[in-house]
Chain A
Amino acid sequence: DTEVTQTPKHLVMGMTNKKSLKCEQHMGHRAMYWYKQKAKKPPELMFVYSYEKLSINESVPSRFSPECPNSSLLNLHLHALQPEDSALYLCASSGLRQGASDEQFFGPGTRLTVL
């Protein structure tokens, strides 16, 4: 099973709402990623979790809060977002080997609109 699933597919929220994005993988991967992608741009890395610990936070505003409850799940909690946060949010996972970069497998994304 080489699938990464994400829910919901679409999300519309107001600036005062609190919502969560969910990501799941069952490939036994120990690294999981959140990316943000604006229209006609490449994905931008937000967070990396390795062995369920936050390894990279690319200076993301605190209104985005990641959580990794276990090795298969990754959440992104959203609170007090701004309209400019509207984007496609992609989750990915990969194996983790010392000094090597395995391919990342991406989920279908959550298309977020902040009103």
Chain B
Amino acid sequence: AQKVTQAQTEISVVEKEDVTLDCVYETRDTTYYLFWYKQPPSGELVFLIRRNSFDEQNEISGRYSWNFQKSTSSFNFTITASQVVDSAVYFCALSEAADSWGKLQFGAGTQVVVTP
């Protein structure tokens, strides 16, 4: 069963617009970890953020911000004032502590297209 759902397949915005990527997860573990990765056209997956289930503080890093809400099992990602370089596929992923080897379960990904 799909444990991470990214319902948005593709989002197109014009530069300087904000864009929010949704991520809904499903787990029975009380300890788990959530991640966001960026995959530009070059192919390399770039780590953006890691959150554990006990830390519900929202986080901001430059133009990036993350909203973690356990009550709705969501971990959404917002890019503020988007730029062309933000064009990429973004993956949300879940790792459950019961899995000793840090196995990542990825969502389907959301393609973000930023046009000038």
Which A positions have Cβ atoms within 8 angstroms of B? 31, 40-43, 45, 48, 50, 55-56, 88, 90, 92, 94, 96, 98-109, 111
Contacts A100-B52, A106-B37 supplied; 17 other A-B pairs, CB < 8 Å: A41-B108, A42-B91, A42-B108, A43-B45, A43-B91, A48-B101, A92-B45, A94-B102, A98-B100, A100-B97, A100-B102, A101-B50, A101-B104, A102-B50, A103-B47, A106-B44, A109-B44
Min Cβ gap B97→A in Å is: 5
Min Cβ gap A83→B in Å is: 20
Partner of A88, one of B43, B100, B101, B104: B43
Return 23 A-B CB contacts under 8 Å, by A number: A31-B101, A31-B102, A40-B109, A41-B109, A43-B45, A43-B106, A48-B101, A50-B100, A55-B100, A56-B103, A88-B43, A98-B100, A99-B31, A99-B100, A101-B33, A101-B102, A103-B35, A104-B47, A106-B37, A106-B44, A106-B45, A109-B43, A111-B43
Q: How would you classify the secondary structure of chain B's contact residues: helix, strand, loop or mixed?
A: loop
Q: Which residue of A lies closest to B48 (CB)?
A: A103
Interface residues of B in 69-105 (CB under 8 A from A): 91, 95-97, 99-104
